[in-house]
Amino acid sequence: LALLVAVFAGAIYQITIHITESPTPGTKEIVQHDVEPNSIAVLPFANRSANADDAYFVDGIHDDLLTHISKIGSIRTISRTSVMQYRGSSKPIPEIATELGVATILEGGVQRAGDQIRINVQLIDARTDEHLWAEIYDRQLLATNIFAIQSEIAETIAETLRTTLSPREQQQIRSIPTENFAAYEAYLIGKQSMEKRTPESLAKAEEYFRHAVELDPQYALAWVSLANTYMLQVWYSELPARENFGKAKAAIDTALELDSDLGEAYVSLGRWKVNMEDLEGAEQAYKRALELSPNYAPGHKWFGFLLEKQGRWKEYVVEMKIAIQLDPISANIRANYANALRATGRAEEALEQYE
């Protein structure tokens, strides 16, 4: 009976989401079509620690949790680029959900005190602004405990949204990337530095990722990020391409030897192969990445760029549309989606995206 009620409610939601009342004069009407019941946005976590410097740690846990949830192919998960724009926002949950095109919102906070960590989360139904589930996790501050909490949250979300995890998804969600907390911290700081995309920040990111893999040579995700940093430094820091791409390939190979099912590693491999003009190999890498991580927006974006390079315009449109659905507030992705539409003669739709 509960399942029938849930299905009926989802069907009603799919119908009613298309019905909009006349907007109040002077306001902008926002219409969101075809919101999937199994869709979620994880808003930036609040830093509840006494130390403001713990912000990088809180953001890192938020990013990791997003990665965990995005492994679930049946739940459309909005990417970090879009959700980070709601940090500190006072907008009502239903309004945020409408702008992002999701049915549920996860919000929470992280408190770090001594050798203890507390993570509190609440899953909210965007239609009613009511809590579907909430939990507080109090654990000792260990890398294994942090990953275990993230796994529990992802699995509970899947259960609450009545979706079934495949054996591979369960394995991916429950994996422990590293048991070395110092390596995990170095990785988090490196990730924050890499996002800034300046010569100085990329040099700092490389230093932290190197430190992470020195502390734990089995840390596959750190090897992937190190590879990405090498490639980014060619474009942003004008470092020698041959040397940096060589180091990037070695880091990617190491990551895949450690974890052959790591979607992020295949995206990096695809980017490397494009730069080596191995377009067929790049396509194989991107397809494998998206098979393993279907909600990974950068994977769809970079695969789209490959299709553009080959003049496969209709496929390019499809791939960029998926990227937009996963990262709707990314100006970069939306502009490239507009380019794809323009290339297929859909000028009016392209103009709307440019605007």
State mean pLDDT over 197-224: 97
Residue 20 has pLDDT above 90, yes or no: no
* 104-137 pLDDT per residue, tens: 999 999 999 889 999 999 999 998 889 999 999 9
Indicate the burial class of 174 (C-beta count within 10 angstroms; 0-12, 13-18, 19 or more): middle
- Whether 19 has a pLDDT exceeding 90, the answer reads no
For residue 82, give every residue at least 6 positions away whose Cβ sits within 8 Å of its Cβ, in sequence order, or none.
41, 100, 327, 328, 329, 330
pLDDT of 17: 34
Task: Give the E-state strand segments of the chain in sequence order.
Answer: 39-42, 46-47, 76-77, 104-113, 116-125, 130-140
State the pLDDT at residue 34.
61
- pLDDT at site 6: 45
Owner of token pair 């990227």: 323
pLDDT at 33 over 80: no
- Banded pLDDT at 23 (limits 50, 70, 90): very low
Q: What is the mean pLDDT of residues 67-83?
A: 91
Q: What is the average pLDDT value for the chain, to the nearest integer?
A: 88
Q: Is the pLDDT of residue 305 over 60?
A: yes
Find the helix packing angle between 143-160 and 167-174, rounded to 10°.
150
CB 205 within 8 A of CB 229: yes
Q: How confident is residue 211, by pLDDT bands cut at 50, 70 and 90?
A: very high
Q: CA triplet 291, 152, 141: central angle to 5 degrees?
A: 115
Q: What is the pLDDT of residue 184?
A: 96
Report, as an integer, the average pLDDT of 92-106. Answer: 94
Residue 22 has pLDDT above 90, yes or no: no
Query: How far from 30 is each of 100, 266, 352, CA to CA, in Å?
Result: 11, 37, 14
C-alpha–C-alpha distance, residues 237 and 228, integer Å? 13
Which range (49-63, 64-78, 97-111, 247-261) has the least confidence? 49-63
Q: Is the dihedral of CA 261, 267, 270, 272 positive or negative?
A: negative
In 3D, which of 142, 84, 140, 131 has the Cα closest to residue 104? 131
Residue 2 has pLDDT above 60, yes or no: no
Neighbours of 192 (CB within 10 A): 19
pLDDT value for 29 = 36
Residue partners of 308: CB distance under 8 A and separation at least 6? 316, 336, 339, 340, 343
* Model-wide pTM > 0.85: no
Q: Lowest mean pLDDT: which of 31-35, 159-163, 184-188?
A: 31-35
pLDDT for residue 350 is more than 70: yes
